[in-house]
Amino acid sequence: MSINLRTVYAFAREMYPKLSTEYIQYGTAGFRGKAEFLDSVMFRMGVLATLRSRFRGGAVIGVMITASHNPEPDNGVKLVDPKGEMLDASWESIATDLVNVSDQDLEQHVAKIIKDNSIDITSSSHVFVGMDNRYHSPRLLKAVADGVIALKGNVREFGIVTTPMLHFFVVAANTKETYGKPTEEGYYEKLIKAFELLRNGQLENGNYKNNVVFDGANGVGARKMLQFIKRMNKSLNISVINQGIGPGKINDECGADYVKVLQRPPISMPVVEPFTRCVSVDGDADRVVYFFTNEKGEFQLLDGDRIATLVAGYLMDLVTRSEIDLRLGLVQTAYANGASTDYIVNELKFPVSCVPTGVKHLHHKALEYDIGVYFEANGHGTIVFSDHAKATIATASETKASAKTLLLLIDLINETVGDAISDMLLVETILNHKGWDVKDWISTYNDLPNRQLKIKVQDRNVIETTNAERVCVKPEGLQTEIENVVSNYKRGRAFVRPSGTEDIVRVYAEAATKEDTENLAYEVGVLVQRLAGGVGPELTKPGSAHL
Ligand SMILES: CC(=O)N[C@H]1[C@@H](OP(=O)(O)O)O[C@H](CO)[C@@H](O)[C@@H]1O
Ligand SMILES: [Mg+2]
């Protein structure tokens, strides 16, 4: 096989010319931007995925086309490595350089990547591609596929799938189907089988009722949930809202991000009994949060921290009852509610670590444990089991019922990445086994009020942080000022960091009361504006609207 790079890039220039010279970066979740500027990015990511597959000895590499929780005009692309992880950090800069190079320099640049990484261009290469249900995704998928074909790689298109489904397919193929069958049916089959065995015919238990409202964010999660329902043997009554078949747009006034950040129910909520479990997923269904309204009609949120603590407590209990010795750990970020961390440390007595924002950091840390539970507060997370843990549990399952349950849970969990639907089925399983409703669940601890602000600055990279982003080291003096302010608030905690997905600085604040939290966030926001080159309008002082 020989590849004439010159012909390939003449073709690229004709079909996928670079329309924007604006510099873009492979960030926390790959490339994101307005869909009309992404064709050349997609073609080049098809090229890169082909090279990455060859670099990894012909293992399958995944390419997912999605802008997750972003609005409808946006799209994006992220690469999935052979074990289902996000693209290795060392290749993120290769990706960034590749998409920013001009059309004229493309050929030479690709030749350099091949040479620098000693890639055998004649070896075989396999790329799996999936997309969310944005109207521009099919066009962008074709660009990725053309990029793969241009370098004579093999491409397999999965059409519209959730991000976690694509991760599942990649791992299933690379493990020679030990993990599951790399097909849509294989995915449904594995999860539904485990879920229904764990239910074992017991559909209700104590306070647990068998009904859930599912907000699909008008995204791919809604479509796939409808497929789940068709294949499930009525083991859970799920009513799907924001299905994406009406005029509603993806993530618009619905979905996990909307519900979590604005702390309110999504649009199109039917009238339901108080305490009915409701679930929101995001546009590509890798995040999930729960919510309900209480008897006073007040909105109550059960976010990623709640899921993490529920799961951790349950797994710990099963491990203890199985009389096996495994190292369990929970991984959070600085955004985790302080009350959840206190509960984990003091009540669950579970080792907990804090890492920088972004799933790749959480995932890597979780791999250090036999059973690693990781969740971002926004609902993105999963559980990973080491080979040692799997073997120990399998042996114990011959004699212990609790270990048998653990074994089934491993099949229910999509270990490759956070998976909204798999996580939801896991939560449903645990609540059912415990006989809990949302009232029982939320009473485990009281969340501290918290507030996030987005501050516009001239250059967000003037902010540098350390200690898992909890301490700001640059610009000089900012951290001391933050600490001074925080010390005036009971249970106060605040930190600032540059966002990896938006051109802003994020401020996080929590304190004992809602009013204090608002004031603390405001004060820290003003400090960022003053010391880090704020460019936005002046922040509104909390409560000033009522003066
Ligand atoms: C506070 C917050 O929710 N940040 C999100 C957001 O990252 P930022 O770097 O904060 O923009 O998007 C990431 C990708 O989806 C997600 O991993 C992360 O948790
Ligand atoms: Mg997402």
Residue extents of the structural domains in the chain: 5-160, 187-301, 304-427+435-442, 450-546
- Under DSSP, the state recorded for 546 is G
DSSP letter, residue 163: H
Task: Tell me what pLDDT residue 12 has.
Answer: 81
Catalytic residues, by residue number, are 68
What's the gap in Å between 68 CA and the centre of ligand 2? Answer: 4
| Minimum CA distance residue for ligand 1 atom 4 | 357
- 253 Cβ contact partners less than 8 Å away, ≥ 6 residues apart: 266, 267
DSSP, collapsed to helix, strand or coil, labels residue 64 as strand
Cα 67 from chain centroid (whole Å): 12
With a 6 A CB cut-off, is 496 part of the ligand 1 pocket?
Answer: no
The finding on whether 29 has its CB within 6 A of some atom of ligand 1 is yes
Given CA atoms 133, 137, 141, 147 in this order, what sign does their dihedral have?
negative
CB-side neighbour CA atoms (13 Å) of 322? 24
pLDDT of residue 544: 66
Residue found by looking up tokens 């690709």 in the block: 110
Q: Is the CB of 68 under 6 A from ligand 1?
A: yes
70: CA distance to ligand 2 center in Å?
A: 9
Residue nearest to ligand 1 atom 16, measured at CA:
358
CB of 359 within 6 A of ligand 1: the answer is yes
Pairing of strands 381-385, 471-474: unpaired
Considering the entire predicted model, what is its pTM? 0.95
**pLDDT by position in tens, the chain (length 547):** 667 777 778 878 889 999 988 999 998 789 999 999 999 999 999 999 999 999 999 999 999 999 999 999 999 999 999 999 999 999 999 999 999 999 999 999 999 999 999 999 999 999 999 999 999 999 999 999 999 999 999 999 999 999 999 999 999 999 999 999 999 999 999 999 999 999 999 999 999 999 999 999 999 999 999 999 999 999 999 999 999 988 899 999 999 999 998 889 999 999 999 999 999 999 999 999 999 999 999 999 999 999 999 999 999 999 999 999 999 999 999 999 999 999 999 999 989 999 999 988 999 999 999 999 999 999 999 999 999 999 999 999 999 999 999 999 999 999 999 999 999 999 999 999 999 999 999 999 999 999 999 999 999 999 999 999 999 999 999 999 999 999 999 999 999 999 987 889 999 999 999 999 999 999 999 999 999 999 978 898 897 654 3
**Predicted complex: ipTM over 0.95:** yes
- Do residues 288 and 280 lie in contact, with contact meaning Cβ atoms separated by under 8 Å? yes
Ligand 1 close to Cβ of residue 282 (< 6 A): no
**Which ligand is the nearest neighbour of the Cα of 32?**
1
For residue 491, what is the enclosing H or E element? none
> How far from 1 is each of 58, 124, 154, 292, 377, CA to CA, in Å?
15, 10, 13, 59, 49
Write out the CATH class of domain 304-427+435-442: alpha beta
Q: Which CATH number among 3.30.310.50, 3.30.300.20, 3.20.20.70, 3.40.50.300 corresponds to the domain 450-546?
A: 3.30.310.50
User: What is the residue with the minimal CA distance to atom 9 of ligand 1?
Assistant: 500
Q: Which ligand is nearest the CA of 28, by number?
A: 1
For residue 293 and ligand 1, the question of a CB distance below 6 A is answered with no
Q: Which of 286, 305, 357, 497 to mutate to test the pocket of ligand 1 (most atoms within 8 A of CB)?
A: 357
Residues 6+ apart with CB under 8 A from 473: 464, 465, 466, 479
CA atoms within 13 A on the CB side of 351: 11
The atom of ligand 1 lying closest to the CA of 377 is: 3
CATH class of 187-301: alpha beta
Residue 93 marked as a ligand binder: no
User: Alpha-carbon dihedral of residues 411, 417, 422, 427, nearest 10 degrees?
Assistant: 100
Q: Which ligand is nearest to the CA of 496?
A: 1
Nearest CA to ligand 1 atom 1: 335
Q: Return d(Cα 373, Cα 367) in angstroms, integer.
A: 9
pLDDT at 132: 97
The atom of ligand 1 lying closest to the CA of 378 is: 3
Q: Whose CA is nearest to atom 6 of ligand 1?
A: 501
CA distance 27 to 41: 14
What was the pLDDT predicted at 547?
A: 38
Atom in ligand 1 nearest the alpha carbon of residue 497: 10
Q: Is 499 near ligand 1, meaning CB less than 6 Å away? A: yes
> Which residue's CA lies nearest to atom 15 of ligand 1?
29
Domain 5-160 fold is Alpha-D-Glucose-1,6-Bisphosphate; Chain A, domain 3 (3.40.120)
| Cα 284 to ligand 2 centroid, rounded to whole Å | 5
Instruction: Identify the H or E element spanning 130.
Output: strand 126-131
Cβ of 25 less than 6 Å from ligand 1: no
Residue 298 marked in a binding site: no
Q: Do domains 304-427+435-442 and 450-546 have the same CATH topology?
A: no
